[in-house]
Amino acid sequence: MAEAGAAGRDPETLSKFVEGFAAQLVEAGMQRMPARVFAALLASDAGAMSSAELGEQLQVSPAAVSGAVRYLAQVHMVSREREPGSRRERYRVHSDQWYEALTNRDAVLKRWQSTLRDGVDSLGEDSPGGRRIAETLAFFEYLDGAIGAVMLEWREHRDRTFGAP
């Protein structure tokens, strides 16, 4: 584990954190390999690692890393960047990865709201199913507004606490 050695940290301690946090992400619904890759990137000093570095640290194949990174990039939790003067890619986790991941859920929430509105219109708000769908729609509309407000508060809090990015 080059990352742990370079930072002067105990590789076993780093591994325990990565695996422990990854396990919690898996419990929350994330796939195991993307959770491990994300936790390793999050804990790395540079916030970026190559596929080979991730594979070495996590003791997994390049294919496993590639699939995990593809998923993490799709959900905006990591980005790919080229190493200067090389064809190799590095994968980076950004300081605002949680913000990005949550705000990119906005499109999903909007689609669900549209579909739920259609459901209420189709079933009628007075039917038992229509009422449940209307309540679900109201929840997602509320959540959509609350997430927006919380994200704005988070950015202000982050800037006060850690400085503007």
Q: Residue 152's pLDDT is what? A: 87
- The whole-angstrom separation of Cα 94 and Cα 165 is 10
When pLDDT is averaged across residues 101-120 and rounded to a whole number, the result is: 85
9 plus 80 within the same structural domain = yes
Average pLDDT of the chain? 88
- The whole-angstrom separation of Cα 30 and Cα 23 is 9
Q: What is the pTM of this model?
A: 0.72
Buried b / exposed e over 96-110, threshold 16 CB at 10 Å, is: bbebeebeebeeeee
Q: Residue 5's pLDDT is what? A: 46
90 plus 103 within the same structural domain = no
Domain that holds residue 51: 2-94
87 plus 105 within the same structural domain = no
89 plus 23 within the same structural domain = yes
Among the listed residues 60, 34, 47, the one whose alpha carbon sits nearest the alpha carbon of residue 7: 47
Counting every residue written for the chain, the total comes to 165
CATH value at residue 36: 1.10.10.10
73 plus 104 within the same structural domain = no
When pLDDT is averaged across residues 13-27 and rounded to a whole number, the result is: 95
81 plus 11 within the same structural domain = yes
Which of 43, 60, 94 is the last residue in one of the domains?
A: 94
3-state SS of the chain: helix, strand, coil percent to 5? 70, 5, 25
59 plus 105 within the same structural domain = no
- The whole-angstrom separation of Cα 121 and Cα 8 is 61
The total domain count for the chain is: 2
69 plus 126 within the same structural domain = no
8 plus 87 within the same structural domain = yes
118 plus 77 within the same structural domain = no
Q: Residue 4's pLDDT is what? A: 42
pLDDT in tens, 34-49: 999 999 999 999 999 9
H/E stretch holding 150 reads: helix 128-162
Query: Measured between alpha carbons, how far is residue 22 from residues 1, 16, 17, 64, 69 in Å?
Result: 18, 10, 8, 15, 14
C-beta atoms surrounding 66 within 10 Å: 17
Which of 94, 115, 137 is the last residue in one of the domains?
A: 94
